[in-house]
Homo-oligomer: A and B are copies of this chain.
Amino acid sequence: METAQRIERALSQALERAGGPQCPAGLTAAVRHAVFPGGARIRPRLLLAVARACDEDQPPVTDAAAAALEMLHCASLVHDDLPCFDDASMRRGRPSVHAAFGERTAILCGDALIVFAFQTLAHGTQGSPHRLGPLLATLSASAGMPFGIVAGQAWESEPNIPLALYQRAKTGALFAAATAAGAAAAGREPGPWLRVGDLIGEAYQVADDMKDVLGVAAELGKPTGRDQALGRPNAVAELGVEGAKARLKGLLAEARASIPPCPGADALHAEILAQTARLMPQSLARPAA
Interface residues of A (CB under 8 A from B): 18-20, 22-28, 31, 75, 79, 82, 84-85, 102-105, 107-108, 110-112, 114-116, 118-119, 121-123, 125-126, 129-130, 132-133, 136-137, 140-141, 143-148, 150-151, 153-158, 165
With a 10 A CB-CB cut-off, give which of A107, A137, A144, A155 has the most chain B CB atoms: A144
Residues on the B chain within 8 Å of A154, using CB: 23-24, 26-27, 105, 108, 112
Residues on the B chain within 8 Å of A133, using CB: 122, 125-126, 129, 132
Residues on the B chain within 8 Å of A103, using CB: 84
The docked-state distance in angstroms from the alpha carbon of A67 to that of B22 is 29
Residues on the B chain within 8 Å of A165, using CB: 22
8 contacts between A and B (CB under 8 A): A23-B145, A24-B158, A84-B103, A107-B107, A116-B144, A118-B118, A121-B136, A122-B136
A140 touches which one: B119, B146, B150 (CB < 8 A)?
A: B119
The docked-state distance in angstroms from the alpha carbon of A119 to that of B135 is 10
Is A27's CB under 8 angstroms from B137's CB?
no
The docked-state distance in angstroms from the alpha carbon of A82 to that of B105 is 13
The docked-state distance in angstroms from the alpha carbon of A141 to that of B119 is 7
With a 10 A CB-CB cut-off, give which of A31, A75, A111, A156 has the most chain B CB atoms: A111
